[in-house]
Amino acid sequence: MGNCFRKNLQDPNQPDGVNEFKVSHQQNVSVSLQVMNLSVPSNKQKGVDEIQISHPPKKSKSPLQEMNSPVPSFAQTEKLWQEEIYGEYGVSKMNMKDEVVHAYICKCFCYDILKEATNKFSKKNLLGEGGFGDVYKGWIDYCTMSAAKPGAGTPIAVKRLRKEGAQGCEEWLNELTFLGKLSHPNVVKLTGHCCEGNHRILVYEFMAKGSLEAHLSREGKTELNWSRRIKIAVESARGLEYLHNAVRPVIHRDLKSSNILLDSGFNAKLSDFGLAKLGPQGDKTHISTRTLGTPGYFAPEYIGTGHLTFKTDVYSFGVVLLEILSGLSAVKIHSNGVARDLAKWARPYLSNKQEVINRVIDKRLGNDFQMEEAYEFAEIILPCLASSPKSRPTMTEVVHALEQLEKKVLKKKNNKQITVSKEHKTSIQIEQYKRSNRFCLVCNRIQSCDRM
Q: Which residues are catalytic?
A: 254
Whole-angstrom distance, CA of residue 157 vs CA of residue 136: 6
Please state, as a whole number, how many other Cβ atoms lie within 10 Å of the Cβ of residue 329.
18
In contact, 87 and 282? CB cutoff 8 Å: no
Residue of 166, 233, 227 whose CA lies nearest to 200: 166
In contact, 376 and 363? CB cutoff 8 Å: no
139-165 per-residue burial string, b: 16 or more CB within 10 A, e: under 16: bbeeeebebbeeeebebbbbbbbbeee
Whole-angstrom distance, CA of residue 58 vs CA of residue 60: 7
Whole-angstrom distance, CA of residue 387 vs CA of residue 390: 9
Whole-angstrom distance, CA of residue 110 vs CA of residue 197: 10
Question: Residue 255: which residues within 8 A CB-CB, separation 6 or more?
Answer: 240, 270, 297, 313, 316, 317, 320
Dihedral sign for Cα 322, 325, 331, 336, please.
Answer: negative
Residue of 212, 251, 262 whose CA lies nearest to 362: 212
Query: Which own/partner contact pairs does 152-156 have at CB distance under 8 Å and 24+ positions apart?
Result: 154/206, 155/206, 155/208, 156/117, 156/191, 156/192, 156/203, 156/204, 156/205, 156/206
Residue of 130, 155, 129, 133 whose CA lies nearest to 142: 155
